[in-house]
Every structure is written in C-alpha cells, then in structure tokens.
C-alpha cells in the first residue's frame, strides 16, 4: 500500500458518491487526515454539486461506472470506499429501475474494475441492516452470521443482498485485498436528513395499529468515525454498526413530541403514500416493514474489533430531537393531508371492528 503514514493508511483513496451527504463528509474527513495522501471523489457526470464547499481538499472526477476501471489503474489507487447507494426510489429520477441500476449494476461494475486494479489493497463498502429484512419470523437480535428468514420485500434490502453477494465473490478473487462491509442501522442525528428523520419530523406520525416495533439508530457522526477507521486501519470482515440499546417506536414518537396515528397494517403503505404527497419524504416497503416488525442487531463484533462503541440509540435520537425541537412548519396543505390521514385511520379501525362483529 502506498505509504500514507505510520499506521499504513492508504496513499490514494477513491470515494464514490461524493455528491451525496455521506460521501461528501467521508471524503472531506479523509482529506483532512494527514495520514492519507490523496482523496479522489467519484460521481457520475450528471451528479449535483450542492456539497462542493465540503470538498475543497478533494479531487473530483465525474465518470460513468463502466469507465472507472481505467481510473483505478491510472491513479495507482490503494483504497476504494463505495458509498454511492440509493436507499429509496425517486420517481422524479427514474424510480425503482434507476435505483437498481445505481445500486446493483453500479456496484458490479465497480468491483469488476477493482478486481483488475493491481495496487488496490483495501475495499470498504457501505451496506445496511436492511440485509436482514424485517418479518414476524425474525430473531430477537441479528448477528452478522444470521441469515434472513425471508427475502426483503423492499427494493433496497434486495439490492443490499445482491451487493454483498458481489463482495463475497470479490473476496474470493482478490484475497490480497482487505474488504470491509459495514451494515449500518438507519442514520439519525442533528445533521442527518434521511427518510427516517423526515418520518419523525412529521407532526402526525403513521404507525401500525397494535404494533410497537423495537428500533435501533446510528448517529451520523459515529457512522463517519467507523468509516474513517475502516479506511485508515485494517478491519476485514462484515460488521453490524448501530447504537447499543433500543427504542420502541412509541417511545421515539413521544420523545420527539409527535402524535402517533395508528392505521391498519395494509393501510400503512397508503399512509406512506399520503405522507409523500404531503411532502414529508419518500417511503418504500423497506421502511414500512421496519415500522411494522422492527429490527435489532448485535454490535459486539464492531466494539471488539474496532475498539469503538457508538453512542446509544437513545442518545443518538435525543440529539436529533434537540436539533428539531421547534418542529417543522406545517402548511395548510400539509395540515389537511394529516387530518385526512387521521380520518382514514379511524375509518379503517371502525371497518375492521364492524367486520369482526359480523
């Protein structure tokens, strides 16, 4: 590996997805580390430039995924950090088809290029606890060895399974490369802007009638710390990355000062669609199943191998609450949509009760 400091940190690092929030912050943090020689941020030609101010010390290259092979070879890249994943479909930008193209096909092309990069010595891949799925058959706690009981219904979970399958193949073909896969719990915190934070920022939060799933969160700053350690140190393997402890959904909603609106389980997808219409964010089946069944993972391997324990799920969520203490501005249109959500939930419960009596 090209010398980058006494720790053996990589000299040349390529970070994919630097036009996105996570990728930009990881690249900026690496560029500020004197142990790292050179940081190159890679994005497709059409990527936005909203986070340019963060990337003053990062060399940016815009290239299609199919052309990245030449880049890895020409620049004598030591390490690749793959963060260019989409967690929810965006109907304005190609929907589910575009999401799968970026997540699955993009990763496959990147790994094919990495396989033929002679100087490459380290690969770090962003994954997700969505790989375990979420169903009524789940164990109380997932370890890294736990196989999903069912294939995830959501597109992101299925993409993650494909991505990790490609990484396993890469490990067999390039055993000389230290490959690290990080299964992140949903991000939260004072600066994170995700589907999950938008869900809890709603004044009225749709939940499933009779369900109170256990949830884990990961503070965004702790995600950056784990990624940074994965790059400048050697931590081969697959790791669950989450804040210790759990919060029940009802606890999280109360802590956030919101009001839960129970709907019947078949109606939650409709509630999510209504929330999208009201401008609260994008929700897919991955998020719906999480809010129905919950998910808890064991992080003892991370704590043991990295010597680092993320702040607890409760502490991460409290940081999010402090940053959003004043809530969001509720327009007349959003208020009307929220009222309709309540009415729809009441009708569903009444209809179900009437059906049981008959």
Give 141-175 as a DSSP string: SB-TTPPPSS--SSHHHHHHHHHHHHHHHHHHH-T
Whether the per-residue pLDDT at 185 is higher than 70: the answer is yes
Mean pLDDT of 329-348: 52
Residue 351: the pLDDT is 62
Closest alpha carbon to 123 in 268, 30, 230: 230
Q: Where are the alpha helices (DSSP H) in the chain?
A: 21-31, 68-74, 95-100, 106-115, 155-173, 195-201, 220-232, 249-255, 268-277, 285-293, 300-306, 313-323, 332-357
For 205, the 3-state DSSP assignment is strand
At 54 the pLDDT is 85
> What is the chain's mean pLDDT, rounded?
84
Contacts of residue 132, defined as CB under 8 A and 6 or more positions apart, other chains included, come to: 138, 142, 146, 148, 295, 297
Q: How far is the C-alpha of 346 from the C-alpha of 77, rounded, in Å?
A: 58
CA distances from 161 to 31, 92, 289 (A): 31, 25, 16
CB atoms within 10 A of CB 193: 13
Per-residue pLDDT at 121 exceeds 90: yes
Read off the pLDDT band of 323 (50, 70, 90).
Answer: confident
Tokens standing for residue 221: 């700053």
- Tokens representing residue 261 in the block: 């609106």
Return the number of other C-beta atoms located less than 10 Å from residue 331's C-beta: 11
pLDDT in tens, 197-245: 888 888 888 888 888 999 999 999 999 999 999 999 999 999 999 999 9
> Phi/psi zone of residue 129: left (φ > 0), alpha (ψ -120 to 50 degrees), beta?
alpha
How many C-beta atoms surround the C-beta of residue 89 within 10 A? 19
pLDDT greater at residue 351 or residue 332: 351
Question: What is the C-alpha to C-alpha distance for residues 162 and 152, in angstroms, rounded to an integer?
Answer: 12
What is the distance, to the nearest Å, from the Cα of residue 67 to the centroid of all Cα atoms in its chain? Answer: 26
Tell me the C-alpha distance between 119 and 92, whole Å. Answer: 39
pLDDT band of 319, cuts 50, 70, 90: very high
pLDDT score, position 253: 93
CA dist 68 and 115 (Å) reads: 12
Q: Which residue has the tokens 């939930």?
A: 345
CB neighbours of 308 closer than 8 A, spacing ≥ 6? 225, 226, 229, 302
Q: Which of 57, 146, 30, 46 is nearest to 93 (CA)?
A: 46
pLDDT of 341 above 50:
yes
More confident residue, 225 or 70: 225
């Amino acid at each position: 590996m090209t010398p980058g400091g006494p720790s053996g940190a990589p000299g040349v690092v390529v970070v994919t997805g630097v036009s996105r929030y996570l990728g930009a912050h990881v690249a900026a943090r690496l560029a500020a580390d004197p142990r790292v020689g050179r940081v190159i941020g890679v994005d497709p030609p059409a990527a936005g430039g909203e986070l340019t101010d963060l990337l003053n010390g990062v060399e940016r290259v815009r290239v299609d995924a199919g052309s990245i092979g030449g880049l890895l070879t020409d620049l004598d890249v030591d390490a690749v950090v793959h963060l260019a994943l989409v967690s929810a479909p965006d109907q304005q930008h190609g929907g589910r088809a575009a999401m799968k193209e970026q997540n699955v096909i993009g990763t496959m092309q990147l790994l094919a290029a990495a396989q033929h990069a002679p100087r490459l010595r380290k690969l770090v891949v962003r994954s997700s606890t969505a790989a375990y799925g979420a169903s009524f058959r789940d164990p109380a706690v997932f370890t890294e060895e736990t196989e999903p009981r069912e294939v995830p219904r959501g597109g992101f979970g299925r993409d993650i399974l494909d991505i990790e399958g490609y990484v396993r193949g890469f490990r067999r073909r390039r055993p000389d490369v230290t490959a690290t896969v990080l299964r992140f719990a949903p991000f939260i915190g004072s600066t994170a802007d995700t589907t999950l934070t938008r869900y809890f920022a709603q004044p009225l939060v749709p939940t499933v009638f009779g369900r109170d799933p256990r949830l884990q969160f990961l503070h965004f700053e702790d995600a950056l710390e784990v990624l940074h350690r994965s790059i400048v140190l050697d931590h081969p393997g697959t790791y669950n990355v989450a804040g210790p402890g759990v919060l029940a959904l009802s606890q999280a909603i109360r802590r956030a000062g919101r009001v839960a609106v129970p709907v019947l389980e078949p109606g939650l997808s409709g509630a999510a669609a209504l929330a999208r219409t009201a401008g609260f964010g994008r929700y897919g089946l991955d998020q719906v199943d999480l809010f129905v069944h919950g998910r808890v993972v064991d992080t003892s391997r991370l704590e043991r191998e990295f010597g680092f324990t993320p702040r607890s799920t409760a502490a991460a969520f409290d940081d999010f609450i402090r940053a959003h203490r004043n809530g969001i501005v509720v327009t007349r249109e959003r208020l009307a949509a929220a009222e309709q959500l309540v009415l729809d939930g009441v009708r569903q419960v009444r209809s179900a009760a009437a059906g049981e009596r008959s």
